[in-house]
């Protein structure tokens, strides 16, 4: 499943709504995105405090995990071992804040590779 996201207009996107895919996640919380809308810049960063549409990303990520289709999944979210079924079944039933905590916990438990520094 293609993981193209609608990034809300904000200073990091030159105050324009953008369509992009997540390329990389970094330890400092910044995200590198690759635009798919033909606008410039073709790649841009979101920093901590910028708005990233986790509510769009997480359902697409979950669908890719369930299909074992990792070609469009950012390498930081490719499972290194099988994610427990109860997580796959229940994560989207949680509030967004808890979903992000689940991802962080899975990373700490070795389900994903460690995040890089820039």
Contact of 23 with 34, CB cutoff 8 Å:
yes
Q: What is the pTM of this model?
A: 0.92
The separation between CA 29 and the C-alpha centre of its own chain, rounded to angstroms, equals 11
Give yes or no for a contact between 88 and 66, defined as CB atoms under 8 angstroms apart: yes
Residues 6+ apart with CB under 8 A from 89: none
The torsion angle over the Cα atoms of residues 98, 100, 101 and 107, rounded to 10 degrees, is: 150
**pLDDT tens, position by position, for the chain (118 residues)?**
679 999 999 999 999 999 999 999 999 999 999 999 999 999 999 999 999 999 999 999 999 999 999 999 999 999 999 999 999 999 999 999 999 999 999 999 999 999 999 8
Q: Where are the domains of the chain?
A: 5-46, 54-108
Pairing relationship of beta strands 5-7 and 43-46 according to DSSP bridges: unpaired
CA 72/CA 102 separation, integer angstroms: 21
């Amino acid at each position: 499943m293609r993981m193209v996201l609608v990034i809300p207009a904000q200073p990091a996107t030159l105050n324009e709504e953008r369509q992009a895919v997540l390329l990389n996640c970094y330890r400092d919380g910044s995200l590198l995105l690759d635009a798919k809308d033909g606008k410039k810049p073709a790649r841009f960063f979101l920093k901590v405090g910028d708005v990233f549409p986790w509510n769009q990303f997480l359902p697409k990520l979950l669908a890719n995990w369930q299909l074992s289709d990792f070609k469009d999944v950012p390498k930081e979210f490719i499972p290194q071992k099988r994610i427990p079924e109860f997580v796959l079944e229940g994560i989207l039933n949680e509030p967004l804040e808890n979903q992000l905590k689940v991802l962080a916990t899975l990373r700490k438990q070795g389900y994903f590779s460690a995040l890089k520094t820039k």
